[in-house]
Chains A and B, each alone.
Chain A
């Protein structure tokens, strides 16, 4: 499960969605399998071929359809709601809700940090979870940040990337947004890693889960709505712009995790 993190990156999904794990994961997996049969042939001109490889978008025709439908739906559903939310809720409160959502996702970040073999990051995520769930009132106040444990993103798509799994072709998943074969599979893994999906569901929890997901979705869209509006306005081909930005950012995020060789002991331990 990915959380909206407040950073304006495409990896923090512009199209967050409520958690209904099993069905969606099956949907994503079936979609991935079904795609294999509808790839367009690569161009023959060398320059065009280089561009085709750079875009890494074998299923462009289908992806563009998914993009069109998603943007259309977004324009009439989530976007107006997010705009109203921004109008009604002041920024500090929105940040607090974002923190709540982010903290609930911290276990997923932790498991992925462990999976990527990055103990310092895992430790940071663990401490963030402990501090923010208690002193931070479930994440409403990001106390951990003030204590020097800054938030970082991680998800199973990135963990697979650090293991050397190639991204595979680019995908635009309806409603979920930009992805790839690897990140789509990673998404399914993340849903499995989120402890919230294993909590027995009484009526109270069910209500909480819905409220939490709807709040997270709207808050996430509110964080990204301006960036998304700008891309739609300034780009001649918004689809290609989002594809490019998403793939570059995912690559940079995976690189950042790979190159994070910080020690697990605090800095003062080394300096006498």
Chain B
């Protein structure tokens, strides 16, 4: 009698079936972990943003939170896209240093816009190797903003690697901004570094 499933395949199938409950349990676990991470990180952020301290002090207090819970290096590498591979180690190091400053500036610039913020953590879903956690950020007198937080554990602990606001990924948008800028400057990464330098120098 002819076998319906060759033994080799049957074994593979069995192995796959055996790991399935484990995989789904892991997914549930990763989702719950990511949700509790976003709840924790979000509460800390909102705590600083809504407090009565001065704007300058808020900016200072936000910094350690960003360093601890946001994977800035990973976001930076992603944003440089294909030029990360062609950049020299020296360019990469300079870029990451500048990128840290640019990202911190971009975030701290926004603190002043947010007062009386509340947020609601929604569901989580796998997003590639990472986990996406949905939240709604509410500001008084304005419609709630649907925001997704992409959480990665690649660095060993959960960290934010992307924020998706109203459907647009911040890191993807940034990558296309940088990519287009470099391409229009003859593929020269140094042009980007100079532009970032200038951006930081002009920031106040």
Binding site for B on A (CB under 8 A): 6-10, 47-48, 50-51, 54-55, 91-92, 95, 151, 234-237, 239-241, 243-245, 248-253, 256
Contacts and interface: CB of A to CB of B under 8 A. Distances in A.
Q: Which 5 A-B pairs have the closest CB atoms?
A: A252-B167, A240-B180, A244-B176, A236-B181, A248-B168
A48 B183 contact: yes
A252 B168 contact: yes
A7 B173 contact: no
Interface of B: 81-82, 106, 141-143, 145, 166-169, 172-174, 176-181, 183-184, 192, 195-196, 199
Nearest to A12: B166
A9 B82 CA distance: 28
A252 B82 contact: no
A249 B181 contact: no
Contacts of B177: 235-237, 240-241, 244
8 contacts: A6-B142, A47-B82, A240-B180, A241-B174, A244-B176, A248-B168, A248-B172, A252-B166
**Interface SS of chain A:** helix
B99 to A, nearest CB: 12
B201 to A, nearest CB: 14
Contact of A241 (B81, B82, B106, B173): B173
Given A7-B145, A47-B82, A236-B195, 10 more contacts: A8-B145, A9-B167, A10-B168, A51-B179, A236-B177, A240-B181, A244-B168, A244-B172, A244-B177, A245-B173
Contacts of A235: 177
B141 A95 contact: yes
B183 A236 contact: no
Given A54-B176, A235-B177, A248 B169 contact: yes
A216 B9 CA distance: 64
Contact of A7 (B82, B143, B195): B143
A48 B196 CA distance: 22
Contacts of B141: 91-92, 95
Contact of A236 (B82, B106, B168, B192): B192
